[in-house]
Amino acid sequence: MSSSSGQVDVMKFGHTNDISMDELTIQGPVAQSASDDDTMSPTAPESAADDVVTDRARKRRQQHYEKQKAKKKEKRAQKQAIAATDAPMFEVRDATGKGKGLFAIRHIPRGSRILSEQALIACPGFVSNGFVTKAFNALPTDKRSAYMDLDCKTVLPGEQNFPEWLRSALLPARAIIAVFQTNFVVEQTHTLRMTVYLQASRLNHSCVPNALASYNSAVDGQVVHAIRDIEPDEEITISYIQSLEYCRRTRNNELKQPVERWFFTCECEACGTKDRPNETSDAMRERLNKMRMNVYKSMNRWIEGLRVNVQRLKPMLEKRVEILRSEHLDGTCDFIEAVKYAAWASYITGDIPKALKYKQCEKESVLHGFGCDSTLYQRVAAELGRLRRDGPNLTKDAEAGLKAYMKRSLEEGKRRMLAEQRFVALEGVLEV
């Protein structure tokens, strides 16, 4: 479940570090009202001017009060969503043809935290078979048997040809590693780690998932949120792959990268079956992928300081958001990335109302998918606040911040992939 680590890259609208609080205050409402006063007629009687100023002050106070009220309401709703974790929302059940899975036992509204769990086994940095075995042996007996009860699909290369006695002799050590291989997720904490969970590891994959799993530092574990309303008896699914914008064939190849560890071909509503593939969805995803590649190419050019015609890029970015919606992928990491880029393009081209609209949508999606206690949400909420407050004044800082951020996130992404590949390809396969 490599993508269930769920970390979404976020571009910043400027660095808070680059701007002091004092600078921000100067650009705020006080400076604005001073320039407004300049437009007043010099002959206007003092008392009338005072009235206007008082009126404005009252209006501003009222607006401020309304904002605070709205914020409090939002926070209360968020807290309620998190508290809802206490009430059971799902059960583990047989999922025909998929082994076990998690199923809703009541209506789960979008944004609810479905589960919040700490890892059973967590291997920091580059794990080895030895580390996994040692961590397993350190578990209490009941946890060990719960671990061994998890799905174990992985057949290590060449194993089918081993004589029976050798296979049996290898089984105990091989089973511990194979369960780990089938179920681990890669998490970005202060360092990379690979983890296995008792409940979150039961989540099956879909290319139209209704939930998002991510690492949450406040919980120090995985949290799973409903990214749309989920009805009773509906299976709760997440995405195992890096992007849902790939076409069907690539998505299924992705599930086998860097080596086969899950052994299934997806037959969700977007994939269809082998005999009746969903060609309409496939064409849409193919289109999405082309758009995504284009965006990345342009982003790379922009990061390197080359000329990019963002004005021309903008309609394509907006179309991407639209298609993702039509594919019922709102709320997924791909969607969050798409609205983030759309906000960026609107911002760079000076279309602040649209930038605000997309940024607001990003904030809502991150809130619903990651929760208000996620660092990602706090970052996006701060970006939106900054954009609202400072609008076009931040352009220069925003550009510098965005570039630095994109560089960092590209490097992080590479490091994460390398760690996963190293474990799966070297430790998991060759050493056993």
Ligand X SMILES: C[S@@+](CC[C@H](N)C(=O)[O-])C[C@H]1O[C@@H](n2cnc3c(N)ncnc32)[C@H](O)[C@@H]1O
Q: How many CB atoms lie within 10 A of CB 36?
A: 13
Q: Which among 131, 120, 9 has a CA at the least distance from the CA of 375?
A: 9
- Amino acid (one-letter) located at 432: V
To the nearest whole angstrom, how small is the minimum distance from the Cβ of residue 151 to ligand X?
Answer: 3
**287 is an interface residue for ligand X by CB under 6 A:** no
Site for ligand X (CB under 6 A): which residue of 151, 159, 234, 399? 151
To the nearest whole angstrom, how small is the minimum distance from the Cβ of residue 375 to ligand X?
Answer: 25
Distance CA 432, CA 427 (A): 7
Q: Which among 331, 238, 241 has a CA at the least distance from the CA of 289?
A: 241
To the nearest whole angstrom, how small is the minimum distance from the Cβ of residue 263 to ligand X?
Answer: 5
Closest to ligand X by CB, 81 vs 224, is 224
**153 is an interface residue for ligand X by CB under 6 A:** yes
> Which DSSP letter does residue 223 get?
E
Buried residues in 277-310 as b, exposed as e (16+ CB within 10 A): ebeebbebbbbbbebbeebeebbeebbeeeebeb
To the nearest whole angstrom, how small is the minimum distance from the Cβ of residue 267 to ligand X?
Answer: 6
Site for ligand X (CB under 6 A): which residue of 12, 113, 202, 320? 202
Closest to ligand X by CB, 143 vs 357, is 143
Per-residue binding letters, 91-110, with ligand X (x by CB under 6 A): ------xxxxx---------
* 334 in Cβ contact with 244 (< 8 Å): yes
Encoded tokens for 316? 């394509």
319 contacts: CB under 8 Å, gap ≥ 6: 291
Closest to ligand X by CB, 182 vs 365, is 182
To the nearest whole angstrom, how small is the minimum distance from the Cβ of residue 210 to ligand X?
Answer: 13
The size of the interface with ligand X (CB under 6 A), counted in residues, is: 20
Closest to ligand X by CB, 213 vs 367, is 213
**150 is an interface residue for ligand X by CB under 6 A:** yes
To the nearest whole angstrom, how small is the minimum distance from the Cβ of residue 146 to ligand X?
Answer: 11
Strand partners for 104: 90
Stretch 203-222 residues interacting with ligand X (CB under 6 A):
204-206
Closest to ligand X by CB, 89 vs 179, is 179
Closest to ligand X by CB, 213 vs 338, is 213
Site for ligand X (CB under 6 A): which residue of 262, 335, 358, 423? 262
Closest to ligand X by CB, 82 vs 178, is 178
Distance CA 354, CA 223 (A): 31
Site for ligand X (CB under 6 A): which residue of 189, 263, 375, 426? 263
240 contacts: CB under 8 Å, gap ≥ 6: 1, 2, 3, 4, 205, 255, 262
Distance CA 241, CA 248 (A): 12
To the nearest whole angstrom, how small is the minimum distance from the Cβ of residue 192 to ligand X?
Answer: 19
Closest to ligand X by CB, 205 vs 368, is 205
* 413 in Cβ contact with 155 (< 8 Å): no
Residue nearest to ligand X (CB): 99
To the nearest whole angstrom, how small is the minimum distance from the Cβ of residue 242 to ligand X?
Answer: 16
Stretch 176-195 residues interacting with ligand X (CB under 6 A):
182-183
To the nearest 10°, report the CA torsion of 208, 209, 210, 216: -150
To the nearest whole angstrom, how small is the minimum distance from the Cβ of residue 237 to ligand X?
Answer: 7
Buried residues in 396-420 as b, exposed as e (16+ CB within 10 A): ebbbebbbebbeeeeeeeeebeebb
Closest to ligand X by CB, 285 vs 386, is 285
Phi/psi for 92 (5° steps) reads -90, 130
Closest to ligand X by CB, 348 vs 429, is 429
Binding site for ligand X (CB under 6 A): 1, 97-101, 150-151, 153, 182-183, 201-202, 204-206, 262-264, 266
